[in-house]
Amino acid sequence: MKSAARGKLPLSIVAIVICIFVFIGVLYIEDTGSLSSATLLALQSTCSKQDDPDNNSSRSVKVQEKSTTSTSLTEEKDDLNGIDGEEEYEEKAEFDPEKCNVVKGKWVFNRSLKSLYSDETCPYLDKQVVCVKNGRRDSDYRYWEWQPDECKLPRFDPKTALEKLRGQRLMFVGDSLQRGQWQSFVCMVESVIPAKNKSIRRGRSHTVFKAKEYNATIEFYWAPFLVESNSDLRIIGNPKDRILRVDAVKKHARYWEGVDILVFNSYVWWMSGLKIKSLWGSFANGEEGYEELDATIAYRMGLKTWANWVDSTIDPNKTRLFFTTMSPTHMRSADWHNKKGIRCYNETRPVLKRGYCGSGSDKRMMNVVSSVVGKMKVPVSFINITQMSEHRIDGHTSVYTEYQGKVLTDEQKEDPKRYADCIHWCLPGVPDTWNQLFYAYL
């Protein structure tokens, strides 16, 4: 029975080791070696039992079975409202970052939503994320709006966003998911800047988009673990061969100095399921001196190194800090009771069940972040995207992406077991909502 399976899920997940073929392998364009070799991933769900109040509801099943027409979507919404006991057009408070809990909410379908860009109009998107160009034909995934229970999220207004950035440097630091958020941000603002007044300078690890008349930059810095590793610039495909310097961050951090607004993330690269080969100290033994640590322990050490750098370097009166929480993966269709599914392949609707949470985000890792950041002197604001993204099994690039630098061929697209990427997100898409949240805090 579905309800029974759902009730037990969080417990069994602790023990489940998920076999994933395309994982770290798809994290970065240059990374090509590991797609065919299985990588193991052990996850404990972020959500715990209390997130499952209505396990006998038929809604999540319906989500899988219903065809995707806009009328059925509207019905679904009404359904949800009925169950939540909410008025459809309830007046909600304006957004107040101190008061509104943006984590609790729901996705609402709205066909009249207009994305601020498309993959045809924005020239700054990577091949990896341009799903429409890469052949994705269903479009419903672009018309969902996140509505927190307690307040209204402000619409992203490009001119206001640029005005807020006037005379400042904004930098996103982290992995390919963070790069997605950076691209989304750039694309959402760039359309209001005439061609002459914007420029981009791409580097191997540092890319700078400049809005000249605002004297503002929106930058991306590649540091997938935040701390140093042997796999930063030359990506090492096989996670077994990666070695992290969990106490070293200077090489990267010198690029972060003088930036006005820093947005960090780091999660998925720690989740290879293997022990993390970690070095610290003076490296007198060279790379042979590593210790193999559990991901959570290595992650804590790495984040602590990052936190110490922040606390000793950053002047909180000059610099604002943000941290984007983990972006969930959707590798296990059984999580949302699609038994015949292949990861997120072919999914065209979010899971609308309230508080839905699968096995693609790790509660222990979230706890590490909370606890390290909780002890910092310099305040860090969370852009907590985890819950909202958990629902979005439909938002991933799936087979509408690239492999070894080339868009998947039709043959490859027919082999989702091997090629479907359920880590990264289509753009325009879910990361636009992350930025809507970020914008609300700006």
Ligand X SMILES: *[C@@H]1O[C@H](CO)[C@@H](O)[C@H](O)[C@H]1NC(C)=O
Active site residues: 176, 421, 424
**Which residue's CB atom is positioned nearest to ligand X?**
7
Cα gap 233→222, rounded to integer Å: 8
167 binds ligand X (CB under 6 A): yes
213 binds ligand X (CB under 6 A): yes
Contact assessment for residue 359 and residue 43, using Cβ atoms and an 8 Å cutoff: yes
282 binds ligand X (CB under 6 A): no
β-strands 276-279, 243-245 pairing? parallel
Chain position carrying tokens 């100095």: 257
Q: What is the DSSP letter of 260?
A: S
Task: Compute the least distance from the CB of residue 377 to ligand X, in Å.
Answer: 9
313 binds ligand X (CB under 6 A): no
399: nearest Cα among 413, 380, 386: 413
Q: Which is nearer to ligand X, 37 or 370 (CB)?
A: 370
Q: Which is nearer to ligand X, 231 or 361 (CB)?
A: 361
Q: Which is nearer to ligand X, 34 or 384 (CB)?
A: 384
306 binds ligand X (CB under 6 A): no
Cα gap 57→83, rounded to integer Å: 10
Token output for 413: 């697209």
Cα gap 266→247, rounded to integer Å: 15
379 binds ligand X (CB under 6 A): no
Largest Cα separation within the chain, whole Å, is 66
Helix (H, G, I), strand (E, B) or coil at 165: helix
Dihedral sign from CA coordinates of 110, 143, 70, 356: negative
Chain position carrying tokens 């269709």: 333
130 binds ligand X (CB under 6 A): no
One-letter identity of residue 125: L
β-bridge mates for residue 147, sequence order: 106
Q: Helices (DSSP H) in 222-293: which residue ranges?
A: 250-253
Helix (H, G, I), strand (E, B) or coil at 342: coil
Q: What is the DSSP letter of 257?
A: T
With CB under 6 A as the contact rule, the residue among 5, 14, 93, 113 that binds ligand X is 113
Q: Which is nearer to ligand X, 183 or 386 (CB)?
A: 386
With CB under 6 A as the contact rule, the residue among 36, 67, 98, 194 that binds ligand X is 194
Cα gap 219→257, rounded to integer Å: 13
Taking residues 218 to 257 in sequence order and writing x for each that binds ligand X by CB under 6 A, - otherwise, the string is ----------------------------------------
With CB under 6 A as the contact rule, the residue among 384, 389, 397, 433 that binds ligand X is 384
Q: How many residues form the binding site for ligand X (CB under 6 A)?
A: 31
Q: What are phi and psi of 286, to 5 degrees?
A: 65, -160
Chain position carrying tokens 């509207």: 74
349 binds ligand X (CB under 6 A): no
Quick one: which segment of 30-38, 278-286, 305-313, 315-323 binds ligand X (CB under 6 A)?
A: 315-323
With CB under 6 A as the contact rule, the residue among 66, 159, 212, 417 that binds ligand X is 212
Helix (H, G, I), strand (E, B) or coil at 265: coil
Contact assessment for residue 177 and residue 424, using Cβ atoms and an 8 Å cutoff: yes
Site for ligand X in 11-40 (CB under 6 A): none
Dihedral sign from CA coordinates of 303, 307, 310, 316: positive
Quick one: which segment of 19-27, 171-179, 366-374, 432-440 binds ligand X (CB under 6 A)?
A: 366-374
136: nearest Cα among 360, 434, 424: 424
371 binds ligand X (CB under 6 A): no
Task: Compute the least distance from the CB of residue 416 to ligand X, in Å.
Answer: 7
Task: Compute the least distance from the CB of residue 291 to ligand X, in Å.
Answer: 27
Task: Compute the least distance from the CB of residue 53 to ligand X, in Å.
Answer: 9
392 binds ligand X (CB under 6 A): no
Task: Compute the least distance from the CB of residue 387 to ligand X, in Å.
Answer: 3
Task: Compute the least distance from the CB of residue 170 to ligand X, in Å.
Answer: 10
Contact assessment for residue 156 and residue 114, using Cβ atoms and an 8 Å cutoff: no
Q: Which is nearer to ligand X, 329 or 387 (CB)?
A: 387
410 binds ligand X (CB under 6 A): no
Token output for 36: 């065919």
Site for ligand X in 39-98 (CB under 6 A): 46, 55-56, 58
Cα gap 222→30, rounded to integer Å: 13
197 binds ligand X (CB under 6 A): yes
272 binds ligand X (CB under 6 A): no
266 binds ligand X (CB under 6 A): no
Taking residues 326 to 345 in sequence order and writing x for each that binds ligand X by CB under 6 A, - otherwise, the string is ----------------x---
Binding footprint of ligand X on the chain (CB under 6 A):
3, 7, 46, 55-56, 58, 103, 110, 112-113, 167-169, 194, 197, 212-213, 215, 315-317, 325, 342, 346, 366, 369-370, 382, 384, 386-387
